[in-house]
Structure 1
């Protein structure tokens, strides 16, 4: 009997479940979508109990519909959205909605921590720039603004810890999710006592840090039977969606950069030692006791397209991003990239790496009556490429990188974006026959945890979908436009109205 695993991804927009064999083949998949609760412009939440229900429904459907021998499913592992946090009481009941990565209500707390303690210690110890994205400042906000709730808080946990506690009966957190809190010492692989003291909580109020490859028993037999899972199935924590995307996309070797373009975006590379950027532009998270991930995050990628679909009339008919890209393909991409000076600073949601600017806003510069809506879309696409160019260059300062880049995420399925990135970066872009990097990374952890895989990668190489070669002439033109883009970005940084 072959060995299969159940890989799970608890994302911002959906829960996904896949049964994957030991060679990395997807045997079955299920997905349940849900929404973000927009409390205000700065507050974005989700309900842990609702996601728990969607999780159960998705797993149950996957097992029932897969058509595989349930006894062949030997382990389950998790990928999860990062940077979310909420308190639970001593019985494990949520006391508050889950505060998401995109929530910026704790801007003032992050700024105050910076003024009181400075930024250097926290960054050097935890690998996290001091920013409202991280649970460190979110917990501080809860303790200051929801004092009755904070007084009842037994633990502060992420959605993955919440689900796992229902399964294994204890609170554990893998190193990568812990690293994404701003409270975890990436060198000692334990909670940082000084960081905890800054926000007034104890180590006992957080989960126990463990390797993502640690193996646990499925102790809740009633839940196991409800989900249709076999007896004896092992539970492996896995990791955060970002680090797992590198493993699952084949970028598991040191120096191979994975660019991930979904709702948000990132450029990441795995390293054998923790990398600390002296200018605090990037982050570093632990993955295992011998592996770290170094990279940066962009807040404005696929969500910008959603904004365009909702607000730009020419694309109101579009049912998918592919239709928008089809318009761009036909109308614009064959024009020289530097044919005009239209620039788009894409900060519809706050700017993360490498500037970590909480105040900068989206800006369209150089707009004239001759421009069309498609020109605006193209300038937005270019801005994503320019910001990624900055991230790749910073990674190259610290890490010896391979010449080829692996591109994953929903936007990797669009030829316009892929070719544009190759031209802007001046590097070969490789896309794969699957866009499931994070959940494949969870499968790798499951198989590694139970000893089927000897390394954190599948033995066979992943199938390449397409290789995009850079057009050198366009690259030169884009470099000139990139200089103007950075000049505009720096000018906007200094403007106060």
Structure 2
């Protein structure tokens, strides 16, 4: 039996899967690392922590592996998007990585729009200037840490740095490059125009490769530290959302993904870069070759539920927390929640907006608040689906993955809110499975990623919308959409009081 390894470098942990040729998960390891938050809105990590924990995880996999290490034919990666890793001329890290959820770069986003122009930026990158992207982070370092910027020879994204430390080769794939705001998305090349306008040396940009492309082998040092074979082939991998799409089989027109993790994503397959969503949703290169995906983002999806538990129900498991939601009617007895705990991305690119509970009264118990949180997260994702439909996309089947797929009750809420068939996969591993599938395809096990998905993925259960519930959620969603506009000014006034 042959095997591949998928590595997903997340925000809180690295997850590693050993997968066989039938798509069965043989082993699974997760290793956590710390988040560095020096100020409000600042989110950084030490890249060495990613590398050390990845190596430790690979070592654990190999220690428990009963087969021949040479049978592990390939490794590929998925990783958190947008994070800035700056390297000097010797590829040594110059500062902590600035992560996707760092919001310090509002001024730099305004600078990008002013210098490049909003329309021209959309023409080239297909995306507006947002705090999470990599280019604003580069400009922030250039402005606030000029001595660091002057030493910079290359920038990469988080998983690219880990891959470099495993192979000694430095690259970036198109799906991650699309999230930098420096890639000409349709031409699949770095934008000299944007670099010149913002005085970013284009030499900082690494060599571009396809996600399934072989980029090297593990080094002798990694062989000694992990037990991997020196013949283990390494493939570029992709952005976490692109790999999540691959791992859920979003590889043809009409397929849509709903992923509820710390953040939430609604992602839909696009065969070309020609559609114009006017910057309302993200438009990125897929991990599959020469195709694309559109994506809406909720910044605090599963995080909203985690926050609620940690603050108001610290000793409860998520299972207990959700155990009574079926006894609560749709609308939680007139209680609404907007999940803007750290701002919002789609459709409101707003770093200042914050969450609200609307309609609280003395009749509400914990179970009502829990249902309201679930419904609020789902409504935020519905904002993206509504945008897709407004621009002519047909969405009738949605693959749901992540924390939102672990609860039957929440899956039914999704089906009713989205007014679409919602599917839970039998073995749902998300982005890390997508990374393993890229390795399997790269190793030549399958003629296409779709053929790999047909072999690796199967349906566990399907949830159909209940029309009576659909009608109630449509009314409630209209009310939910009013909350943003009615609280936007209040939240802007409160910014001065945030520490």
Name the TM-score class by shorter chain: over 0.9
User: How far apart, CA to CA, are the structure 2 residues paired with 1:420 and 1:289?
Assistant: 34
Q: Is the 8 A contact 1:217 1:235 kept in 2?
A: yes
Shift in CA distance, 308/338, structure 1 to aligned 2, threshold 3 Å: closer
Structure 1 segment 212-361 matched on structure 2, within 5 A: 212-218=211-217, 220-287=219-286, 288-312=288-312, 315-318=313-316, 320-326=317-323, 330=324, 332-338=325-331, 340-361=333-354
Range moving further from structure 2, 393-402 or 447-456: 393-402
| Structure 2 equivalent of residue 135 of structure 1 | 134
Deviation at 1:18, TM superposition (A): 1.3
Structure 1 segment 86-235 matched on structure 2, within 5 A: 86-218=85-217, 220-235=219-234
TM-score for the superposition, normalised by structure 1: 0.94
User: How far apart, CA to CA, are the structure 1 residues paired with 2:375 and 2:274?
Assistant: 29
Deviation at 1:220, TM superposition (A): 2.1
Q: Is the 8 A contact 1:405 1:429 kept in 2?
A: yes
Please identify runs of 4+ aligned residues in structure 1 that moved more than 6 A: none
| Structure 2 equivalent of residue 481 of structure 1 | 476
For each residue in 1:416-464, what CA deviation from the matched residue of structure 2 results, as whole angstroms up to 9, or x when unmatched? 2111111111212111122312111111111111221111132426232
Range moving further from structure 2, 250-259 or 214-223: 214-223
Is 1:423–2:400 an aligned residue pair?
no
1:267 match: secondary structure:
strand
Is 1:82–2:81 an aligned residue pair?
yes
For each residue in 1:311-353, what CA deviation from the matched residue of structure 2 results, as whole angstroms up to 9, or x when unmatched? 11xx1211x3222112xxx2x4344314643222210011101
1:407 match: secondary structure:
strand
| Structure 1 equivalent of residue 407 of structure 2 | 414
Q: Is the 8 A contact 1:275 1:294 kept in 2?
A: no
User: How far apart, CA to CA, are the structure 2 residues paired with 1:111 and 1:323?
Assistant: 45
Q: Is the 8 A contact 2:87 2:155 kept in 1?
A: yes
Shift in CA distance, 231/338, structure 1 to aligned 2, threshold 3 Å: closer
For each residue in 1:367-424, what CA deviation from the matched residue of structure 2 results, as whole angstroms up to 9, or x when unmatched? 2222223322222211111121121122234464352210001231112211111111
| Structure 2 equivalent of residue 389 of structure 1 | 382
2:82 match: secondary structure:
coil
Q: CA RMSD in A?
A: 1.7
TM-score for the superposition, normalised by structure 2: 0.94
Q: Is the 8 A contact 1:336 1:474 kept in 2?
A: no
Shift in CA distance, 90/426, structure 1 to aligned 2, threshold 3 Å: same
User: How far apart, CA to CA, are the structure 1 residues paired with 2:383 and 2:460?
Assistant: 26
1:78 match: secondary structure:
strand
Could you tell me which runs of 5 or more consecutive residues in structure 1 were left unpaired when the two chains were aligned: none
